[in-house]
Structure 1
């Protein structure tokens, strides 16, 4: 095993490069003007469908008041729409508008195109194999720790 200094340096470098990649992908998608909370709400609604503001706040670990402000800004921007909750007439659900869904899908496509172009233009076949192996390692790092299940 590497010594602690190497692990600390690797951890720091990984954190920095992951953050830079995240910012670059957001810029490529054209959603750099959205906050991290707004992007999280948009993604959650695309992946899981309509939700109430309270459900979104719980899912994202935010205070309900903060989530209300986040949702309101996205409704004002035309990214989300509000409609009555079909299960509770007193509640309101939010969902992606057609424009919001279209913008998100275009953003995902732009990110993928940038990645493919960059990988194909800047890396050799051997380097691409190394990156493929590194992606698998990062994926493994993100899996739940089996010790936490005990």
Structure 2
């Protein structure tokens, strides 16, 4: 069955899919603006978040995880090291390899950035939505969570 046939069968679901995608993209942009992400590329942000979530890693393992060539990952990481956000140390299991990890200043930066986004969203919800609309939003969040579940 082609896409047009599916859309004709349930036009509301098709419209909601487009609306949700557009709203989530705009909200993501607004949150990014609030978090003072700086001049980092999406690849650099992905590396920082991966190192935060998964812990220290080699350039090769980061490249595999992000679907990049190791040389490209090296180019991605160099400005992060220069900015003091990532530091390398010898791999205790293989001294020929270097493990990259976040610096404490980077962890602080990420925490503060998240706090700024959280604060902006909290204030925006309070200012722009009535208490009744906030209850509706809570219900909508539950539905979005179901959509995003694995």
Alignment TM-score, normalising by the size of structure 1: 0.87
The alpha-carbon deviation at position 3 of structure 1 amounts to 4.6
Match of 1:121 among 93, 107, 127: 127
The alpha-carbon deviation at position 65 of structure 1 amounts to 2.5
Question: What are the within-5 Å matches in structure 2 for residues 1-150 of structure 1?
Answer: 3-144=9-150
Partners of 2:122 and 2:12 lie apart in 1 by 31
Tell me the matched-pair count.
Answer: 143
RMSD (CA atoms): 1.7
Q: Is the 8 A contact 1:41 1:56 kept in 2?
A: yes
Could you report, residue by residue, the CA deviation over 1:47-83 in whole angstroms, capped at 9, with x for unpaired residues? 2211111111222233322222111121122211111
Larger radius of gyration: 2
Q: Is the 8 A contact 1:45 1:51 kept in 2?
A: yes
What residue ranges of structure 1 are gaps of 5+ in the alignment? Answer: 145-150
Give the SS at the match of 2:40: coil
The alpha-carbon deviation at position 104 of structure 1 amounts to 0.8
What residue ranges of structure 2 are gaps of 5+ in the alignment? Answer: 1-7
Partners of 1:14 and 1:96 lie apart in 2 by 34
Partners of 2:86 and 2:37 lie apart in 1 by 15
The alpha-carbon deviation at position 31 of structure 1 amounts to 0.1
Alignment TM-score, normalising by the size of structure 2: 0.87
